[in-house]
Amino acid sequence: MKKMLLFLALSLIISVTLSAESILVVDHDLSEDDYTDCWPAYESALIANDYTYTYYQVASGDLVTPDLATMQSHDCIIWFSGECWGYFGQDCMTTESENKVADYLDGGGSLFFAGQDYLWSSYPSAGALNPGQFPHDYLGLAQVSQDEWFIEDPDFVEVEGVEFSCAAGFSFTASDIFTTMREGLYVDQITSYTADAMGLFNVTSPSPEGLCAVQKDTGTFRSIFSTLAFAAIDDTTTQHAVFGAMLDWLLDAGNAVETESNIQNSFIIAPNPFSNSTAFQFSLKEPTHVKIDVYNVEGQLVKSLVNADLNAASHSVTWNGQDEAGKNVSSGIYFTKISTGKKSAVHKTMIIR
């Protein structure tokens, strides 16, 4: 893999081209100051999901982040602050950075932000988040309980994706990856969120049960905020799948078919990922011919599911994870192509056996 290295002040930018989407990664974990390095988890997840990215490393000496023009040249920003908690001031996201990201999102961008102590660092009195504050307006937070869960090795937290969110169908554990360096795994509970947001990750154990991440869709921008460190997810395969599902939603890939087509609303795949079977759900505005095929990552046809004229109605098509010969396909990423007339769209799904 070829990498182009560019040095900017004390920060490092690496540009890697893997696909059409462009993602800006802002590594704000300050690992050069003996905090745990979270970047390898993100790097492997980005590569596993074939996403284009530009890497920018923030230094604790100045906390300088990319300028607005750089942000605007990308489709999505991935921002993570690891175990930073305020030792270097607003060392998860400064007010200046919040303002830049706000302008970027107001222009139609998208954001994934994992900051387990972002609120502790920048909003230590929250509690309540109010209109006019970045966490409320751009992350969807209305009320939080900080440090609700504290996990220290060898303990772990159990998490599941919230129904109807882009993480629906996922369940995983996350562990303390920070104690050997400085801190443990601190997780804030999101007790309420704004009207245009919804729950994403739900902690089921230890008690109390509650949300630790939300997704927000204003119609202008989409954002995901997690108080659970993404790098702490234990199973690598699940970690990659969760990340792919979140980025697909943020980039509107794998969710909605082109608006000019005959598909009404979203093309929903649930559960995704799956082990035994999944359903492709969609609605037609008018009667039309529909073709649905599943392909592997090499572009080879795996299974033809539908090739028929369908009525204007809601439809659900099940795939049992088998190929045309009736054999179970292996774990991995697959692509579903749905065609209606002259329009088509491709959606990603994952099988975990």
| Helix, strand, coil % in the chain, rounded to nearest 5 | 15, 40, 40
The structure tokens listed for 276 are: 């035994």
User: If you search the block for the tokens 């222009």, which residue do you land on?
Assistant: 107
* pLDDT value of position 6: 31
Longest dimension (CA), the chain: 63
Q: Tens digit of pLDDT for each residue in 184-197?
A: 899 999 999 999 99
pLDDT tens for 304-313 read: 999 999 998 8
Q: Residue 67 — pLDDT band, cuts 50, 70, 90?
A: very high
Query: Which letter, b or e, does each residue of 154-175 get, where b requires 16 or more Cβ atoms within 10 Å of its Cβ?
Result: eebbebbbbeebbbbbbebebb
Residue 10, pLDDT above cutoff 90: no
pLDDT at 14 over 50: no
Q: Quote the pLDDT of residue 97.
A: 98
297: its two tokens: 């990552």
pLDDT tens column, 224-235:
999 999 999 999
Other CB atoms within 10 Å distance of the CB of residue 264: 16
Residue 140, pLDDT score: 96
Mean pLDDT of the chain: 87
Confirm if 295 and 337 have CB atoms less than 8 A apart: yes
In the chain the domains, ranked by start, together with CATH numbers, are: 4-250 (3.40.50.880), 263-351 (2.60.40.4070)
| Local confidence band at 271 (pLDDT 50, 70, 90 cut-offs) | confident
Q: Are 104 and 70 in contact (CB under 8 A)?
A: no
Say which residue, 103 or 272, is predicted with more confidence. 103
Residue 56 and residue 13 in contact, taking contact as beta carbons nearer than 8 Å:
yes
What's the confidence (pLDDT) of residue 268? 80
- 154 cis-preceded (ω within 30 degrees of 0): yes
CA distances for 240 relative to 134, 234, 245, 329, 341, angstroms: 28, 11, 9, 19, 34
Cis peptide bond prior to 271, omega within 30° of 0: yes
| pLDDT grade for 87, boundaries at 50, 70 and 90 | very high
Residue of 335 and 101 predicted with greater confidence: 101
